[in-house]
Structure 1
Amino acid sequence: MLRRLALTAVVSLAVLSAAAPAATADSRPLPLPIPLPLPGPEGEDGPTRLTITVSDSGDPSAEGTFELRCDPAGGTHPVAGRACGRLEELADEGENPFAPVPADMPCTMQYGGPATARVTGTWDGRSIDAVFTRTDGCEISRWNNLRPVLPNVR
């Protein structure tokens, strides 16, 4: 859909650029349109670039803000290669680990601690802005599903 929209915009701009000189008395050439980047196939709209901020984990080495880049793996994330591998597995499974827990989901009333994490950026062609906690069984499971992107917290 995004590819079709971008292609339509580029074609429309090209047609208008070609028609405009004929409609004006001024014969000076018009500036060329700026080329727009076309997105790749679905799920490949750009590289993975995430900012992960972890607090109250109880582990000083896991606290702070980390950058994660994939393809190739890099950034300041302590286990970038493994984290990128996990994100690739989740993408291959068609799972969105950043989706919130559905409001009607029954969850066990267990507390996994005060740890929080916020993840922002781009993953699998999607804009990400997700918050993770460990306030009940569903949130603990959601956090654990995203390890090693998120630290191992107990």
Structure 2
Amino acid sequence: MDMRSPAALALVAATLVAAAPVGGSSAAAAPRTSLTITYFEDAREPATRVAATLRCNPVGGTHPRRSLACRGLARVGLRGLQPLPRGVACTEIYGGPQAAVVQGVVDGQRVWVRLKRDNGCEISRWNRLAFLLPVVWTASG
């Protein structure tokens, strides 16, 4: 068969398409997570800012505990990053001036999360998501 004939070209093209992986490479099919996490020791003092990046699948970025943060994120998922429901009763307790902003993409979904310590509910949420902070955080700061 002459390889320049339309039938031969069609056969080669069909073979290449059949051999191609469905949906692209496995890396492209994996959910992507890419975040910038900015921590403020004191939200009123921009100079106290510490920022880091985090990528999962594969793990990367400047976060000092990337693997731990990715495992924690896989555990809580997008649901764990949701804001507190409106109208929920929270103890009026102040946990400190610390704040953090988590923004980017988790499992292909855009996220923007503000963490603070203004009341009992926010403190509890902060503690559940402390693995994301680019600093080793303890209750004393």
User: Which of 132, 135, 138 does residue 149 from structure 1 map onto?
Assistant: 132
CA distance in 1, matches of 2:116, 2:126: 7
The one-letter amino acid paired with 1:76 is: T
CA distance in 2, matches of 1:147, 1:112: 14
- Where 1:97 maps in the other structure, the secondary structure is helix
The one-letter amino acid paired with 1:47 is: R
**How many percent identity over aligned positions?**
39
Give the drift of 1:124: 2.0
Residue number in structure 1 paired with 2:63: 77
User: Which of 88, 95, 103 does residue 105 from structure 1 map onto?
Assistant: 88
The one-letter amino acid paired with 1:79 is: R
* 1:56 corresponds to 2:49: no
How has the CA–CA distance of structure 1 residues 72 and 125 changed in structure 2, closer, same or farther, with 3 Å as cutoff? same
How many residues are matched?
106
> Relative to structure 2, which stretch is displaced further, 105-114 or 143-152?
143-152
Normalising to structure 2: TM-score of the pair? Answer: 0.67
- Where 2:121 maps in the other structure, the secondary structure is helix
Structure 2 unaligned residues grouped into runs of 5+: 1-22, 24-28, 43-47
CA distance in 2, matches of 1:136, 1:153: 17
Deviations 1:84-128 (A, max 9, x none): 00011113xxx6122111121111111110001001000122110
- Where 1:89 maps in the other structure, the secondary structure is helix
Structure 1 unaligned residues grouped into runs of 5+: 1-37, 39-43
Moved over 2 A (4+): 150-153
CA distance in 2, matches of 1:105, 1:138: 9
Give the drift of 1:149: 0.8
CA distance in 2, matches of 1:128, 1:90: 14
Deviations 1:51-103 (A, max 9, x none): 0000125xxxx941100001121111010000000011113xxx612211112
Tell me how large the CA RMSD over aligned residues is. Answer: 2.2
How has the CA–CA distance of structure 1 residues 63 and 153 changed in structure 2, closer, same or farther, with 3 Å as cutoff? farther
The one-letter amino acid paired with 1:80 is: R
Residue number in structure 1 paired with 2:32: 47
